[in-house]
Amino acid sequence: MAHKIKIEENAYLNVEDIGEGQPVVFLHGWPANNKMFEYQAQHVVENGYRYIGIDHRGFGLSDTTASGYDYNSIADDIQKVITELKLKNYIIVGFSVGGALSLKYASKYNNPNLQKMILLGPAGPSFVQRDDYPYGMKANEVTDLVNAISDDHPKAITDFGEVFFSSNTNVSNAYKDYFNRLTLTSSLIGTVKLAESLRDEDLRKDVNTIDLPVYGIHGTDDAVCPIQFSEELEKTMPNYQLTRVSDAGHALFFEKKQKINDLLIEFLAK
């Protein structure tokens, strides 16, 4: 079933709720929506878990708002879903910016009902290069991407998709076309503003406050969120456990879906 969760006056999130058992909350990447996890949703439900897939504001079937795309506001959105659905003993799975949002949420709320997190190619602690942090894109490169999206949304996202998949995996053109269409269902406002948040947010202080098991799964060929992101998290978070997936790009959820699905069930059960 799908829930409509109110986040502000006349604005609602779309939340997919499938199966029974321990709830697993999935946070999607930019600029997709929760449907990107359909292979993971099928697998966790078949293994006795409850899939909770949130479309962030401005993405998927959620409403588009004029503002509220900073990490702090989206963490509040996530908590509203947790509260509305009365989730207990839940687990969060976050991909890319969803991984960064997972970290922000855990740091801000420190919810005792959050048991653990699993991060797939997380876009944190910072998506862009900073002082003492030479990894990822440069801030001005993200600004150029934002300007390109504002000028020609389909072309900019299609061009960006060229680095999404690893050349070492055999992903069909049909799936690449499908995923590209999926991302283009997102609003222009949401796509631009969340990209700006990726550029501007820095979680290096936030992650030091997180005291729960965090399992990182990262592709060694990730050209969007380099594996150094997870290696930095491993250095600074005592409970961060990194699993490297060889020959996987940023789209490891599809490129290596059997491996990822097996790891998900392994970590969910720990």
Domains of the chain: residue spans and CATH: 2-269 (3.40.50.1820)
> How far is the C-alpha of 264 from the C-alpha of 259, rounded, in Å?
9
3 is catalytic: no
Q: How much is the pLDDT for 169?
A: 83
* Residues whose CB is less than 8 angstroms from the CB of residue 42 and which lie 6 or more positions away in sequence, other chains included: none
Token look-up 């076309």 returns 177
Q: How much is the pLDDT for 168?
A: 83
**Which is catalytic among the residues 62, 96, 186, 197?**
96
Q: Are 59 and 32 in contact (CB under 8 A)?
A: yes
222 is catalytic: yes
96 is catalytic: yes
Closest alpha carbon to 210 in 80, 131, 130, 107:
107
In order along its 270 residues, the chain shows pLDDT tens digits of 999 999 999 999 999 999 999 999 999 999 999 999 999 999 999 999 999 999 999 999 999 999 999 999 999 999 999 999 999 999 999 999 999 999 999 999 999 999 999 999 999 999 999 999 999 999 999 999 999 999 999 999 999 988 999 988 889 999 999 999 999 999 999 999 999 999 999 999 999 999 999 999 999 999 999 999 999 999 999 999 999 999 999 999 999 999 999 999 999 999
**Which is catalytic among the residues 28, 77, 222, 230?**
222
